[in-house]
Chain A
Amino acid sequence: MRVRLMHPAGESDPAPAPGAGKDLERDLGLEALLSAMAAGDDFVLDVARATLLARPPSPEVIAHRQQVLADCLADRDVVHILYELAGQAVSAERRSPRGMTTQSAEPLLHRSMRVLELLLGHLRRLRDAVDPAPASFRSPGLRDLADTVAAELDDDFFTAAGTHLQELRFRHGMLLSASLASGGYGTGYVLRHRPAAGWTARLHRGSASRTVWLGPDDEAARQAQYELTTIGIRRIAVVLAQSVDHVVSFFAALRRELAFYVGCVNLHDRLTAIGSAVCFPQPGASGSDVRSYQGLYDPVLVLGTGRPAIPNDLSAEGRPLVVVTGANEGGKSTFLRSLGVAQLMMQAGMFVPARAMRAPVATGVFTHFRREEDATMTRGKLDEELARMARLVDGMAPGALLLSNESFASTNEREGAALGEGIVGGLLDSGVSVCLVTHLFELADVLRRGRDGEGIFLRTERRPDGSRTYRLLPGDPEPTSSGRDLFDRIIGAVGR
């Protein structure tokens, strides 16, 4: 019985993706996103973080998850019921700690029986919740769960399990088979199934027997009986304990996978409540080059302000380079973050903050953002930037996505442009997609002239009066950034 909500074949958790780490989380502002998904549940928070930052799966797996998520959005109640159920099953097992019981047979057996009794109750509730399958279960993932539960947790199973729990109390004694070791000691004890009552009589009649009576005060008797029963239950104690472990790990997997969807539903509700659009994107194979967005926005900003944000469009077919220039505070960084967050969300199998989106799955998402503390812009900061970039490049493979925000601003424009051109060119030619925000005119210009066919150039929109619209439109880099506007606005004609 495998839980296949996150992957059609029920694979175990993958490793973190290249580029994942504290820097990426901070640069994209993921904490706010994850909190919205968690809605106070720390377990959901951890699962959400791990999933968003995991090695990305194939487009087929992404589609599988989208279908499950669609079902969850259609019927939240079932999802919450199952999630709660799984959580209770896991807690029930934890409340009976293994502790010292794992060191001898009898305590281990009794602990396993107690826990199994509780877990059978939860398994019954699980079956009742998904059998018959709710009408909302359309996705292969959830249909598979319902089918598996109906097939495996049938009446025969519960009957058999219940019988075992009764038999293992050994109310009618214990039946052991044994062989002879040297000197006549018993060895190779195997617990045997005591046949039903009617059989016992037939057993008595059929074969001869001898009875050794055990006196109540007989020390030898007590000792022999104790040893026999302890040896007799050794193997069954281990078998039952392992069975309990298997059931627990099933519920743990169910809880983990449902937690992700619970988080997605929470986030969906928050965003739509604020009036922001979401959609299921179309993921392309890694390396394919169709990238287009309609109505893309930064969900972190929306969650922070509680108001819808100005969306943007981008169409970059066959163009792995996007360069954004223009006025300060014009929405460039926000745009870059929205690209990164949307990429991670798509790869996790979620909806994305847009009306429509098509993008290839990236082998890794990397951020190289200007550090806020770099106010002094001394030479030493350039070393830090380059070292950081080198570390990122170590983890990159063809198909990666690099989001660069004001890289190499810590040096003069000429040097920054030279460094940037070399690095961006090298990455592009190695099959890495680059989205670059910069106010270094020289860099944007040289890319415009040298990489024209590979790049999309966007500029922040400015109204005639100088105010910003926070929209990005196609446009060539302009030599001046709009510090002019700010100057005019603040200083104006004073002192002229």
Chain B
Amino acid sequence: MPGAADVRNALPADAVEDLFLNRILSGVEQQRVDDLDAAPSRRLPPLLRTPAEVRSRQDLLRDLEAPQVRAAVDAFLDRMRNARAAARNARRTEHPLPGRLWRVEAAARSTRAVLTLRRALAAAGPESARLRMVCEYLDRLARSTAFADLAEDVATLGRALQELVYLLDVRRDRIRVTRDTGAADYGAEVTATFARFAHGDPDDYWLGNVSTTGMNAVTAAVLDAVAELHPEIFRAVDAFVARHHEPTDATLAEFERDVAFPLEYLAFIEPLRAAGLPFCYPEVDAESGAIRVLDAFDLALAAQLAGTQEHVVCNDLELSPAERIVVVTGPNKGGKTTYARAIGQLHVLAALGLPVPGRCARLPLIDRVFTLFERGETGGDLTGKLADGLTRLRAVFDAATPRSLVVLNEVLTSTALRDAQALGGEVLDRLAGVGCLCVCVTFIDDLASRPSVASVACEVDPADPGRRTHRLHRGPPGGMAYAHALAARYGLTYADLRGRMDGARAADASGR
């Protein structure tokens, strides 16, 4: 059973940032409805531990994708939020009677939430084990004596309170409260007097919203007066509050917590799906096996590009069981880092049991993610940077397991090329020794030729080597092709320069 420390480190903060999982999380949280009682998570849920858990979570999400189930669960969450709001009002008010009425309201809202969810789920017929369990629980709960009594009491009381009408005689120095006498509706009388002139639709007058300042001493006193004049109903209120304590059902609270993130995630990917981007439920293996991913893409980038004309590029990854190290090479801005991020996101989202960005996917279930992305020039000395990078690498070697995922992005840039080639080779060898899955983005093409390394390179368009397609394929590194094409575009290839220099020299000579 993994300890708390493991859980905490399964997704370290820098990994979340490097892989743009923080942006995905932020996008998902924007789907959340405000709920002052729920703690903001600001963190991804913990990774699931077994393929069975993953399949169970996937089944739950499949259920939640069905409109009827989704509607039922959304409505339930909404009602429970409102019930908690009522309970909060009860705690906060300084007047006893409103407090008691809020507690009645809270009970009414939560019983209605439970009964409606039970009915709606029964009608929708969910298939996942999780939701079936919830259905069974709701059945038992509804049939239990305690709940049945509560529901009946609150319904009766609710009806009585709704039907209550009282009269206020508002004068300058007093407010007289009486029971309803059935006096005539004055508005209706005035309308009737002038109805003889009416024809066609009258103008509508919108007088703005009514703003009230809430319960103060006077309005509370009015309420107390109403209570005194209707003793039978308010005795029932007191009795209700005494008999029924605030019910917080632990099982249902856990259910609310469990479905919150999946629902928000589904809402987050909904517009991307609608725009035609592929999502699928991956097959996850406990042991390292063949990896096959088709049409994966960077989810954070896709969300960012949504609504613009820019096209999201999808890429594949296929590895045999023996291949665990992937070396990604290509020119600047060729899509290497995006590719590495997409692979990283894919594995994390798969381990959370969520539908992943891609047409189909078969992946190992990872236990942790480590990322080492080049931090950019901080102005410090190169030796310091190298030491820093190596220290971080050391931590990876210490903690990585065969089920971990390591993503390296242009590490070891702060040393000479010859050193980097050698050190890079060593690093890959050590990681091969650990046996974890590793994606390594690098400009050192030689690393891609090492034995049992899978080489993935940016596609080069032979007709226009300078063009970036952002597509990557299994294959040898492109070598100098990119650089040459870039130089040619600016007339700076070797041949160009010789030609220009010769011309200049000739002009110089003739001018002398």
Q: Which listed residue (A210, A225, A232, A237) contacts B177, Cβ 8 A?
A: A210
B82 to chain A minimum Cβ distance, whole angstroms, is 10
User: Could you tell me if B181 and A203 are in contact, using CB atoms closer than 8 angstroms?
Assistant: yes
- Bound complex: CA A183 to CA B210 (Å): 17
In this assembly, does B412 line the interface, its C-beta being within 8 Å of a C-beta of chain A? no
B170 adjacent to A232 (CB under 8 Å): yes
Per-residue CB contact flags for chain B residues 74-95 toward chain A (1 = under 8 Å, else 0) read 0000000000001001000100
With both chains docked as a complex, state the minimum distance between the C-beta of A325 and any C-beta of chain B, in angstroms: 53
Q: A234 at interface (Cβ–Cβ under 8 A)?
A: yes
Within 379-396 of B, Cβ neighbours of A (below 8 Å) are at none
Judging by beta carbons under 8 Å apart, are A180 and B208 in contact? no
Interface-side segment among B10-18, B141-149, B158-166, B401-409: B158-166
Identify the closest chain A residue to B211 (Cβ): A227
Instruction: Return the contact of B173 from the options A190, A194, A208, A213 (Cβ within 8 A).
Output: A213
Residue interface mask B205-234, A partner, CB < 8 A = 1: 101101011011111011101101100000
- Selected from B175, B197, B199, the residue in CB contact (under 8 A) with A211 is B175
Query: CA of A218 to CA of B172 in the docked complex: distance in angstroms?
Result: 12
Selected contact of A221 from candidates B161, B202, B213, B218, CB within 8 Å: B218
Tell me if B156 counts as interface (CB < 8 A to partner A).
no
CA distance in complex: A161, B198 (Å): 15
A238 & B180 in contact (Cβ 8 Å cutoff): no
In the complex formed, the residue of A with least CB distance to B109 is: A182
Most buried by A among B170, B173, B205, B210: B205
Asked whether any CB of chain B lies closer than 8 Å to the CB of A207, the reply is yes
Binary B-proximity of A177-219 (CB < 8 A = 1, otherwise 0): 1111011111000111111000000010011111111101010
Chain A hits for B207, CB < 8 A? 102-105, 108, 234, 237-238
Among A2, A102, A191, the most chain B Cβ lie within 10 Å of the Cβ of A191
Whether B190 pairs with A229 at a CB distance below 8 angstroms is no
Q: For chain A residues 218-251, which have a beta carbon within 8 Å of chain B? A: 218, 220-221, 223-225, 227-232, 234-243, 245-247, 249-250
Report whether A214 and B175 are in contact in the complex, using a CB–CB cutoff of 8 Å.
yes
| Contact, CB under 8 Å: A227 / B183 | no
Q: A180-B226, A239-B191 are in contact. Are A214 and B218 (CB under 8 A)?
A: yes
Which of B98, B175, B180, B181 interacts with A184 by CB under 8 Å? B98
Contacts of A193 in B (CB 8 A): 183-186, 189
Query: Once the chains bind, are A228 and B105 in contact (CB under 8 Å)?
Result: no
Complex interface: chain B residues within 8 A of A191 (CB): 185-187
* Residue A118 CB within 8 A of the other chain: no
Q: Which of A176, A206, A212, A221 contacts B167 (CB 8 A)?
A: A176
Number of interface residues of B (CB under 8 A): 63
B190 x A212 contact (CB < 8 A) = no
Docked complex Cα distance between A240 and B207 (Å)? 14
Q: Which A residues, 155 to 178, have Cβ-Cβ distances below 8 Å to chain B? A: 157, 160-161, 164, 167, 172-178
The majority secondary structure among interface residues of chain B is: mixed
Q: Determine whether the beta carbon of B212 is less than 8 Å from that of A185.
A: yes
Q: Contact between B93 and A231 (Cβ–Cβ < 8 Å)?
A: no
Contacts of A390 in B (CB 8 A): none
A152 at the interface (CB under 8 A from B): yes
Against B, the Cβ 8 Å flags (1 = close, 0 = not) of A2-26 are 1000000000000000000000000
Q: A184-B101, A243-B194, A246-B198 are in contact. Are A175 and B218 (CB under 8 A)?
A: no
Residues of A with C-beta under 8 A to B222: 186, 212, 224
- Establish whether residues B169 and A250, one from each chain, have CB atoms under 8 Å apart when the complex forms: no
Shortest CB–CB separation between residue B44 and chain A, in angstroms? 37
Answer yes or no: B203 CB below 8 A from chain A CBs: yes
Q: How far is the CA of A157 from the CA of B190 in the complex (A)?
A: 11
CB distance from B46 to the nearest CB of A (A): 38
Do A224 and B218 touch (CB < 8 A)? yes
The 8 A-B residue pairs with the shortest CB-CB distance, nearest first, are A243-B194, A210-B225, A173-B171, A246-B197, A224-B218, A220-B216, A242-B202, A182-B105
The 15 listed contacts between A and B (C-beta, < 8 Å) are: A174-B171, A175-B183, A177-B166, A178-B167, A180-B101, A184-B101, A186-B168, A186-B222, A193-B186, A209-B178, A212-B176, A213-B173, A220-B216, A236-B186, A236-B190
Residues of B within 8 A of A (CB): 86, 89, 93, 97-98, 101-102, 105, 161-162, 164-181, 183-187, 189-191, 193-194, 196-200, 202-203, 205, 207-208, 210, 212-213, 215-219, 221-223, 225-226, 228-229
Q: A192-B185, A239-B187 are in contact. List 16 more A-B contacts (CB 8 A).
A: A157-B196, A173-B171, A175-B183, A177-B166, A177-B168, A178-B165, A183-B86, A183-B93, A207-B181, A214-B173, A220-B217, A224-B218, A224-B222, A240-B190, A242-B198, A243-B194
